[in-house]
Structure 1
Amino acid sequence: MIHTTVGQLGHFFVILSFVTALVATVGYFLSALGRKTAVEVESVEEPQLAYAGESSFGGKVARKKAKPVTQTSVPPARDDWRLLARWSFYIHAAAVVGIGSSLYYIIYNHYFEYHYAWSHSSLALPVQYMISCFWEGQEGSFLLWLFWDALLGLILIRTSGSRWEAPMMAVFALVQAFLASMILGIILGDTFKIGSSPFLTLKEAIPDAPVFTMDPNFIPKDGNGLNPLLQNYWMVIHPPTLFLGFALTLVPFAYCIAGLWRNQPLEWIRPALPWTLVGAMVLGVGIMMGGYWAYETLNFGGYWNWDPVENAVYVPWLVMVAALHTMLIAKRSSTGLKTAVILTISTFLLILYATFLTRSGILGNASVHSFTDLGLSGQLLIYLLAFVAMAVALTVSKWKYIPSDEQEASVYTKEFWLFIGATVLCLAAFQVIATTSIPVYNKILESFGKISNLALPADQIAHYNKFQVWFFVAIALLTGVGQYMWWRKVENKKWDALITPGILTLLISAGLIAFGEIKNPVYMVLLVASIFALMTNGTILLGIIRGNYRLSGGAIAHMGIALMLVGILYSAGFSKVISMNNSGLLISKQDEFTKNDNKENKENTLLWLNQPERMGQYQLTYRGQRIEARDVPGYIPRKDVTVIEGDFHGIAMRDIEQNGKVYHKKGDTLALYPENTYYEVEYREPSGKVFSLYPRAQVNERMGLLASPDTRHKVDRDIYTYVNSVPDPTAENKWEKTETYSVAVKDTFFLNDFVAILDDVVRANEVEGMEIGPSDAAVRAKVRVLDKNGEHILSPAFVIKNRMVAHPAEMSDELGVRIQLNEIDPRSGKFTFAVNRTQRDYIVMKAFEKPLINILWIGTLIVVLGFLIASIRRYREFRKMGVKEI
C-alpha cells in the first residue's frame, strides 16, 4: 500500500506555507506603509536622526535639523493589515512544522515509496541518524532553514516592538516565501519548475525506471541509506547549528532594511546588535563543529581544507564579525554607520551567495561536499539577485540621510582601530571569496560565448594559507591595540601602557622559539602576534573583572581568538607523521608513476595481525577486525559473530562478554550497526602504558571503501590514526589450492613461507563443537610455527565418531593458514596434513602527532563564552532603553 495521505498532507503544508508567507509579506508591507505615512506627517518628511556631540574621528557630526517625532494615533487600516500579517505568519510557522513532521514521519516509518526516504535512509539506521537523513538532501536543508527563520520570526513579533515589527517582518516574510518556493515542487507547462518537493514518490521522481513498467506498484524493500561519512553524531547537531547561524544573519539584515526604509539609519543598531552577536557566535560554532566533524570523520589529517563549501560559510562569518565591530562605533561615527549598513547587508547577501554556490552545481568537482543541481540554479539566482537589487536600491536611495563627518580620522581614537580591524576582516574575506568564485567567473564568460582558462589553485591549502596567515597576524595585533584604545589605556598620544604587555610578549615568544621547533619566520611572526593578543587582552580582562565582569565579553572573545591561532599554528604547522616505513617494503606502487617523491611509501606502515612493530617511541600491534553491536558497549571481535548479510544482524559464535558482563550467549542473534568495520591498533608507550585506537573503514556500495580516523587525545597532543589499505572486510577468505604434507613427529615443513615443526600428536578428550563419547576417539596434533616475533601453535584434530571420520580444521588469521589432519599411518609413523593458504590479515595505516591542538578547541569555547557575555550585556541594554514601545 502506498502511503499517499502523509505525502499529500506534507505537500499541502508546503503550499500553505508559501501562500501564507506571501500574504504576510503583503500585509506587513502595507502596514509599514501606513505607519511610515503617519510618521512623515508628523516630521514634515524630515528623518529622525539621533546624532549629537563629537564624531569618533574628532570632528563635529554634520546634522540635519529634524523635528521631534511624536507617537500619533495610527490609521485603523494599518492595524488591520498588521493583524492579518501576524496571523498569516503564525499559520505559516505552523505549516512549516507540519512539513517537517510529515517528512520525518515518512523517514521514520521507512516509507520507501517516497523518493526522499529511499534516497537518504535505510532500515538499518538508528534513530539519531534518521534525524540526519532529514537534512541530508537539499529539500530537507531548505526546510531546516525555513524552520529556524519561522521560529525567529515568531520571537521577533513578540519582542521587536510595534514600530519595528511591520517593516522588519515584511523582509522576514519575503525571505520565507522564497525559501518555501524552493520546496514547492510545482511544474508549470513542460519545463518550468518551481522548487523540488521532498514528497515526490519514486514513480513521480523517476517515472522512466524499468521496474515501474513491470510493476506499477513497486515499493523498494530498503533505501539507499545515509552517506556513511554523515553517520556521525556531529552530523546530528552540526547542520541545525549552522542553519540557525544562517537564519540569524537575517535578523540584523531585516532591522537594517527597516531602519533605512523608515529613514532612521541609526536606530536599528541597538536592537540589531544583540542578534548580531548571537548570530556570529552560533555561525562560528557551526563552522567549528564542521571542522571537528572533518577531523573525526575524514582522513585528510586536519579540520580545515579550504574546500569551496567551507569557504562559502567562512566568508559571511568574517563579514558578520566585521559588521559587529562597525556597529559598535556607529553611534559616534557616520563612517562606522555607513560601513555597518553595507556589511550587515553584505553578510546576508553572502549567505545567499554561499547557498547559490553550494546548491546550483556550479562548483562541479571543485568541492567534495557540495550539492548537485536539482534544477534550482535559476531559482537560486533569482532569489539572490532579488535581494541584491532590493538592498542596493534602498541603500542608494537612503544614503543621503546618513550624515558625514567634518574632519579626518584620528589614530588616537578607539573607533579608528575598530574600523581598521573591520577592514582587515573584510580584506581576508575578499581574498577567500575572490578565489572560491573562479567557477562562477568561468560560467559567466561561457554564457557570453567566451572560453576561460581560469582554474582553482592546484594546492588550495598553500594558496589560502599564504595570504590568510598575514590577515591573522594583523587581526591578532589589532585585537590587542584595539582593546587598549577601547578602554582608554592609550591617551594623549602616549603608548606607555603597551610597554609591559609588549615586554612579556617578547620574553614568552623568545622562549617558545628558542626551546621549540619554530624555524619559519612567518610562523614566528604569527606566534608573536598571538602572544601579544593574549597578553594585552589578558591585562585588560584582569582590570575589567575587578570592576564589572559583564563588560568582559570582548576581551574574553579576543583571548579565545588568540588561543585558536596558537592552536592552529602548532597543530597545522608542526603536525608530524610518525608512521614512517622503515621495513624496506614497497607499500604504495602509485609513487612509481607520480612525482610524489615516494611519499606514500615512506609515510605508511604495514602491520600484520598480532605482529608488533616499532613506530617512533611506540610499539604497535594490529589486534584484528572489530564490529559494533547495538546493545553491547565498545567493540567486539568480528570473528565472534557470523554476520547475516543484508539483515544487519549476526549470530554469536561464542559468548559476547564485555567488562565481565555477558550480553549474548553463543547462538544468540544480535543487532549490528551496518557498514563499519573497526581495526584495533594497540599502542604501547615507553612507560609500558597501553591504549588502543579503532580507526574504521566503511564499505558502501555507492562510495566504496571509506576510511575514518580514530584519535587519542592527550594534554599536549593528539595521536591521529587512520587506515589507508585493508583487506575487503565483506569478502570471504579466498583459499588457494590444497597442499598436502606427510611428516613424522619432530619433522620440519613450510606453511605459507613460515617454518613449521610437528612437535607431537596426543589423545584429545575435547574438540570444539563436537562431543567425544566413550566409544569415540580423537587426537590432536601440535604444530609449532615460527616467525620473527615468536611462535604460533596450531592444533588440528582427527576424530572418529560413530565410525565416521572428521577433520576439524584449525585456522590462523595471523599466518593466513588453514590446516587439517587428514590421515594417520601407524606403520610409517607419518601424519598427512592438508594445508590451504590465503592472504594474511593486515592493515596499512598512517599516524600523525598533532601538537597543542586542544588549545584550538579550548580557544573556540572561550570565544563562545565571550560572545555569550557580550550578547547578554547588549540585550539588557536594549531592554533598558525601553525599545519595546507601543
Structure 2
Amino acid sequence: MEYAGEHLLPGQVGHLFILVSLIASLTAAFAYFKAVQATPDAKAGWLKLGRIAFLTEVVSVLIIFAALLHILYHHLFEYKYAWQHTSLSLEFKYIMSAFWEGQEGSTLLWAFWHCVLGVIIIRREKQWEAPVMSVVSFAQFFLATMVIGIYIFDVKIGSNPFILLRDSGVLDEAPGMHINFDLSQPLRPDYLSMVTDGNDLNPLLQNYWMVIHPPILFLGFASTLIPFAFAMAGIWTKDIKGWVTRAIPWTLFSVAFLGLGIMMGAKWAYESLNFGGYWAWDPVENASLVPWMIMVSGLHTMLIFKHSGYSLRSSFLFLALSFVFIVYSTFLTKSGVLGDSSVHAFADIGMNGQLFLFLIVFVWLPPFFAASTNQQRLIIAGVTTVLSLATYFLAEKIPGFPLYVILGGVITFIVLLNKQVPSIKKEENVSSREFWMFIGSLVFFLAAMIIIFQTSLPVFNKLFNSNKAPGENDEFNYNKIQVLIAFVIGILTAITQYLKYKATDTRFFWNKILVPTVVSALVATFILVFVKINYDTHGMGFLINIWLALVATVYATIANAAYIWVGLNGKLKNSGGSIAHFGFGLMLVGMILSSSKKEILSWNTSGIAVPFGEDSKEKTGENLTLVKGVPMQMNNYMVTYVGDSAHPKKEQTYFKVHFKSKKTNEEFTLLPDAFVNYKGNEGLMANPSSKHYWNHDVFTYVSSFYKPDGKSDTVSFKPNTVQLNDTIFYSKGYIIIEKLAAKDNLPVAGFSKTDTGYTASVKVQQLNGPSYSADLLMIRNRGNTLYQNLDTITSQGLVLKLDDVGGDKITLGVKESDDVLEYLTLKAYKFPYINLVWGGVIFLVIGSVVSMFRRIKMQRLKAA
C-alpha cells in the first residue's frame, strides 16, 4: 500500500549508508589488522585498502548524519525519530539538540567524532596508522551495529533512526500525542494527515548548553579511544615503549575535552535543572567522570615513564580501563538500568544484550592484544565469543555472571601485561617526583573506583537480584569520601612539581617551595577566619575534613601558580602542567566554598504555606511564596512577583521577579520559567534564573505556582451579619468593619439622586502578620441592590462585598478562595565564589591544550 505524503528517500538513503558504514568499518578493521601482520611487500596493499574502507566509512557517516538532520529539520513525522524528538513549534536552534536527544543520534555523533579523529591519525601517525586504525575501525563497527536496526531470529541488533512511524509499533501500542485516528481500524493511506504534530524535544533540553555540550562531551568520549588504541598498538606490535611519546598529546587532548564536556554538562544542570547546583552525583554524571579520572591517572603514569622509566604497566592498565569505562558508561546510560535513579539516562530500547556484548568484547580486547602469539590470540578470541554467548543466555540464570566475565577479562589482561611489559626492579626514591606522582595517580584511580562502585549499585542489584539501597543521603555518601581525596590530591598537586625526577635535594626543595607554602598558609587562614566555613549539617568531623580539603586545595592553587615563575621562569609555553594544576586546584576551591557556604535566601516569611507532598525534595520553610504584585522580604532583598508571560505554542510560563537590595538599593529582574513536563514525567519542571556577581550568584527557580483560570472557582460568598467593630474570623486571621457611612447624591455615573449608597471601611488582620484595608460600596434603591463593588485581598485569598445594611446590623459577604490568589513559590540560593569553579575549568583546559601543543612541537623537533 502507498501512503500519501510520505518522504521515503531520506530514510532509504540513510539506512543504505548505515549498511555501507557497517561493511566499510569492518573491512577497514580487517585490512589494518592484516597490514600489521603482513610482510613489508604486502603491507602497502592492505594499508591502501584500509584507508579506502575507512574513508568510505567517513563519507557514509556524513551522509547518515545529513539524512537524519534533513528529516528533523523538515519535521518529517512519518519517521519515528522526527515525531519523537521534534515538533512544529521547536525553535531552529534546538534541532541539533533533538538530533542527539535520542540514543541513535548520540551514537551517530560519537561515530562522527571517531571519523574526524581517524582521519587525523591517517594523516599524522604514519608509523602507528595500521595498529591504531585497526582498533578505531573495530570500535566504529560496533557503533554501526548500534544503529543498524535489524533482527537476527528474535535478537534485535541496533535501533534504526530511520524507522517509519507506521512500522515502529507506536501506532499499534501507544498513540501518544497528536495522533488523531481510530487505532481499531486498518491504517489509512492518508494517516499522515492525522499526525498533526510531533512529541517535541524534552523541555529541559531546550537550552543553548544542550546545543554545544553533547558535541564536546562526545568528542571527549571518542578521544579516549585514541590513547587506548596506542596502548593496544604498543603491546600488540611489541613496541612496548615507543607508543608512549605519540600517545601523550592525544591523552592531553582527551583530558581537556572530556573534562570540558563534563563541566559544560554541569553548567547546563546549573542553568536548567532545579536540584540547586551544578553537580548532584547523578549516576550518569559519575559514569562520565570516572573515565576522565582514570585517564588523568594514565597521563601522569605515562609522564612518569617518559622521564624515569617507571609505571609503564600502570599506563597500559589505566588507558585500557579508561576506555572500558567509557563503554561501561554507555551501557549505564543507554540500557535503562538507571532510569529510576538518573535524570540523564535513556529508556531501555531493547538493546541490553548488545550493550553487554559491546562491553565484554572491549574488556577482552586488551588481553587479545597482550597475547604473545597469534595462537594465543585465537584462543582468546574464541573465549571471548563463548563468554559473550554465555552471557546472553546465562545472565539471568546465574546471578552476577556478566560481572565475573568482565573481571575475568581484566585479570587476564593484568597477568599477560606482567609477562609482556618489563618493569624496573629498583624502587623509586621517596624524594623523587615520580614516586609522589604515582601515589597521586593511584589515589585518583582509587577515588574513581569508589565512585563507580557506588554508582553501580543499581547494576549490582540487577545482576545479583538484590535490593541494596545507596543510603539515606546519597550525596553525603559521596562527599564524605571525596573530600578526603581532595585533601590528599591537593597536597600532592602542590608539592610534586617542586620535586625532581630520580631524587631531590632537600635544601633545593625547601628553597623553592617555602614562599608558596607560607603564602598558601596565610590565604587559607584568611579564608577560614574571615570568609568562614561553618557547614555543620553532618557534624564537626565532616566540617574539619572540609577545612583540611580547603587548605590543601588553596595550597595546590597557589603553589602551581608560583611554580610558573619559581620553577619555569615565567615561560608560559612550558607551563601547561602548572596552568592545568592551577585550574584544577582553583576548581576544587570553588567547589568547596560554593557548596559549603551555599545559603538559602528564600526562607518562608510570607505566612503562606504551600504543601509539596511527602515525596518532594522541597521543604515549605525553604520556599518563599510571592503573591503577584505584593513585595515580600527575602533576606536582604525586597522581592516582587511582577508578572508572567506564556510561551506562544507551549504550556510554559515565564515569570518576571524583581529584586531590590535593602542595603545598596540595587535592582535587578530574574526570569525563571516553569512547566508541567509533557514528555512523560509528571510534576513541575523548572529552568532556573541567576544574577551573576564576581563573588557569588543569586540562584532562583520556581518550585510551584498558581494562575487562576476562573473555571475552578466554585466557592460561594458566606454572609456574616455583625455590628460595627465586631470580629469576623477567616482561616488566616480576622476581619473588622471599622467605619460605615450612608451617602446621597452619589457621584457615580448611572445612578440617580434618590439612590442610597453605603461605604464601609474594612480592616483585614492576618494572624502574626500584616494588616490590609478594603473599601466597599453598595448602592440601593427601595430595597433593591443596584451595585456592589468587590474588593480582593489577594495575598489572603479573600474577596469581600457589602451585602446589606439595616439599623445597626451589617451583612458582609466573605469568600475565601485560592482562585483569587495568583502566586509563585520561589526557591533561592546564594552561591558564593561559584565563578572559581568555572574559571578553574577554563584554566584546566587551557593548561592541557598548552601541554599538548608543546608535546607535539617536541615530537616535530625530534623528527627533524
TM range (shorter): 0.7 to 0.9
For 1:204, the equivalent position in structure 2 comes to 167
1:707 is displaced (CA, Å) by 2.4
For 1:864, the equivalent position in structure 2 comes to 845
For 2:642, the equivalent position in structure 1 comes to 623
Secondary structure (helix, strand or coil) at the match of 1:560 reads: helix
Q: Say if 2:658 and 2:667, in contact at 8 Å, map to a contact too.
A: no
Q: Residues 616 and 489 (structure 1 numbering): CA distance in 2 closer, same or farther, change over 3 Å?
A: farther
Which of 592, 601, 618 pairs up with 1:578?
601
For 2:331, the equivalent position in structure 1 comes to 356
Distance 2:691 2:708 in 1: 24
Secondary structure (helix, strand or coil) at the match of 1:208 reads: helix
Distance 1:429 1:83 in 2: 41
Q: Residues 692 and 284 (structure 1 numbering): CA distance in 2 closer, same or farther, change over 3 Å?
A: same
Q: Say if 2:719 and 2:811, in contact at 8 Å, map to a contact too.
A: yes
Q: Say if 2:297 and 2:445, in contact at 8 Å, map to a contact too.
A: yes
Range with greater deviation from structure 2 (536-545 or 402-411): 536-545
Q: Does 1:214 align with 2:228?
A: no
Distance 2:849 2:748 in 1: 72
For 1:712, the equivalent position in structure 2 comes to 691
For 1:658, the equivalent position in structure 2 comes to none
1:122 is displaced (CA, Å) by 1.1
User: Map of 1:505-544 to 2, 5 A cutoff?
Assistant: 505-519=520-534, 520-543=543-566
Q: Does 1:727 align with 2:698?
A: no
Range with greater deviation from structure 2 (752-761 or 125-134): 752-761
Distance 1:553 1:732 in 2: 65
Q: Say if 2:79 and 2:163, in contact at 8 Å, map to a contact too.
A: yes
For 1:549, the equivalent position in structure 2 comes to 572
For 2:715, the equivalent position in structure 1 comes to 736
Which of 11, 21, 24 pairs up with 2:15?
11
Range with greater deviation from structure 2 (124-133 or 706-715): 706-715
Range with greater deviation from structure 2 (697-706 or 728-737): 728-737
For 1:237, the equivalent position in structure 2 comes to 212
Instruction: Give CA-to-partner distance per residue, 1:288-336, whole Å, 9 cap, x none.
Output: 1111111112222111111111111110000011111111122244432
Q: Residues 679 and 548 (structure 1 numbering): CA distance in 2 closer, same or farther, change over 3 Å?
A: closer
Name the aligned partner's letter for residue 876 of structure 1: K
For 1:151, the equivalent position in structure 2 comes to 116
1:281 is displaced (CA, Å) by 0.7
For 2:496, the equivalent position in structure 1 comes to 482
Distance 1:313 1:439 in 2: 17
Name the aligned partner's letter for residue 522 of structure 1: N
Instruction: Give CA-to-partner distance per residue, 1:341-392, whole Å, 9 cap, x none.
Output: 1111111111001111121122342323211211111111111111111212
Q: Say if 2:597 and 2:831, in contact at 8 Å, map to a contact too.
A: yes
1:782 is displaced (CA, Å) by 9.9
Q: Residues 848 and 261 (structure 1 numbering): CA distance in 2 closer, same or farther, change over 3 Å?
A: same
1:468 is displaced (CA, Å) by 0.7
For 2:128, the equivalent position in structure 1 comes to 164
Q: Say if 1:327 and 1:337, in contact at 8 Å, map to a contact too.
A: yes
Range with greater deviation from structure 2 (77-86 or 222-231): 77-86
Q: Say if 2:684 and 2:703, in contact at 8 Å, map to a contact too.
A: no
Q: Residues 785 and 694 (structure 1 numbering): CA distance in 2 closer, same or farther, change over 3 Å?
A: farther
Q: Residues 106 and 82 (structure 1 numbering): CA distance in 2 closer, same or farther, change over 3 Å?
A: same
Distance 1:477 1:505 in 2: 11
For 1:63, the equivalent position in structure 2 comes to none
Instruction: Give CA-to-partner distance per residue, 1:244-298, whole Å, 9 cap, x none.
Output: 1000101111122122221101111122111111111111111111111111122
Which of 60, 85, 91 pairs up with 1:120?
85
Name the aligned partner's letter for residue 574 of structure 2: L
Secondary structure (helix, strand or coil) at the match of 1:366 reads: coil
Q: Residues 330 and 396 (structure 1 numbering): CA distance in 2 closer, same or farther, change over 3 Å?
A: farther
1:846 is displaced (CA, Å) by 2.1
For 2:247, the equivalent position in structure 1 comes to 272
1:687 is displaced (CA, Å) by 2.1
Secondary structure (helix, strand or coil) at the match of 2:674 reads: strand
- Structure 1 length-normalised TM: 0.79
1:845 is displaced (CA, Å) by 2.1
Q: Say if 2:432 and 2:503, in contact at 8 Å, map to a contact too.
A: no
Name the aligned partner's letter for residue 590 of structure 2: G
Which of 289, 300, 307 pairs up with 2:275?
300
- What percent of counterpart residues are identical? 38
Distance 1:137 1:221 in 2: 21
For 1:382, the equivalent position in structure 2 comes to 357
Q: Say if 2:31 and 2:46, in contact at 8 Å, map to a contact too.
A: yes
For 1:696, the equivalent position in structure 2 comes to 673
Instruction: Give CA-to-partner distance per residue, 1:737-793, whole Å, 9 cap, x none.
Output: 4689999xxx9999998779899997689xxxxxx9xxxxxx999998766778788
Name the aligned partner's letter for residue 200 of structure 1: I
For 1:405, the equivalent position in structure 2 comes to 424
Q: Residues 733 and 783 (structure 1 numbering): CA distance in 2 closer, same or farther, change over 3 Å?
A: farther
Which of 462, 469, 486 pairs up with 2:476?
462
Which of 123, 128, 132 pairs up with 2:97?
132
1:428 is displaced (CA, Å) by 0.7
For 1:258, the equivalent position in structure 2 comes to 233
Name the aligned partner's letter for residue 561 of structure 1: F
Which of 171, 176, 183 pairs up with 2:147?
183
Q: Say if 1:578 and 1:616, in contact at 8 Å, map to a contact too.
A: yes
Distance 1:307 1:300 in 2: 11
For 1:853, the equivalent position in structure 2 comes to 834
Instruction: Give CA-to-partner distance per residue, 1:655-690, whole Å, 9 cap, x none.
Output: xxxxxxxxxxxxxxxxxx652332524343322222
Name the aligned partner's letter for residue 430 of structure 1: M
Range with greater deviation from structure 2 (475-484 or 677-686): 677-686
Name the aligned partner's letter for residue 158 of structure 2: G
For 2:379, the equivalent position in structure 1 comes to none
Q: Residues 528 and 165 (structure 1 numbering): CA distance in 2 closer, same or farther, change over 3 Å?
A: same
Instruction: Give CA-to-partner distance per residue, 1:685-737, whole Å, 9 cap, x none.
Output: 32222222222211233333212322121222221222222115778563534
Q: Say if 2:245 and 2:306, in contact at 8 Å, map to a contact too.
A: no
Q: Residues 571 and 812 (structure 1 numbering): CA distance in 2 closer, same or farther, change over 3 Å?
A: same
Distance 1:410 1:254 in 2: 32
Which of 318, 331, 341 pairs up with 1:366?
341
1:393 is displaced (CA, Å) by 3.0
Distance 1:380 1:423 in 2: 29
Secondary structure (helix, strand or coil) at the match of 2:699 reads: strand
Distance 1:723 1:481 in 2: 45
Secondary structure (helix, strand or coil) at the match of 1:124 reads: coil
Q: Residues 431 and 466 (structure 1 numbering): CA distance in 2 closer, same or farther, change over 3 Å?
A: same
Instruction: Give CA-to-partner distance per residue, 1:477-502, whole Å, 9 cap, x none.
Output: 11111110158994257642333222
Q: Say if 1:21 and 1:89, in contact at 8 Å, map to a contact too.
A: yes
For 2:408, the equivalent position in structure 1 comes to none
Q: Residues 132 and 244 (structure 1 numbering): CA distance in 2 closer, same or farther, change over 3 Å?
A: same
Instruction: Give CA-to-partner distance per residue, 1:31-79, whole Å, 9 cap, x none.
Output: 2222xx44xxxxxxxxxxxxxxxxxxxxxxxxxxxxxxxxxxxx1x322
- Structure 2 length-normalised TM: 0.81
Distance 2:763 2:230 in 1: 78
Secondary structure (helix, strand or coil) at the match of 1:881 reads: helix
Q: Residues 735 and 503 (structure 1 numbering): CA distance in 2 closer, same or farther, change over 3 Å?
A: same
Name the aligned partner's letter for residue 290 of structure 1: G
Secondary structure (helix, strand or coil) at the match of 2:224 reads: helix
Q: Say if 1:797 and 1:809, in contact at 8 Å, map to a contact too.
A: no
Distance 1:535 1:83 in 2: 52
For 1:81, the equivalent position in structure 2 comes to 46
For 1:320, the equivalent position in structure 2 comes to 295
Range with greater deviation from structure 2 (844-853 or 679-688): 679-688
**Considering only aligned residues, what root-mean-square deviation do their CA atoms show, in Å?**
3.9
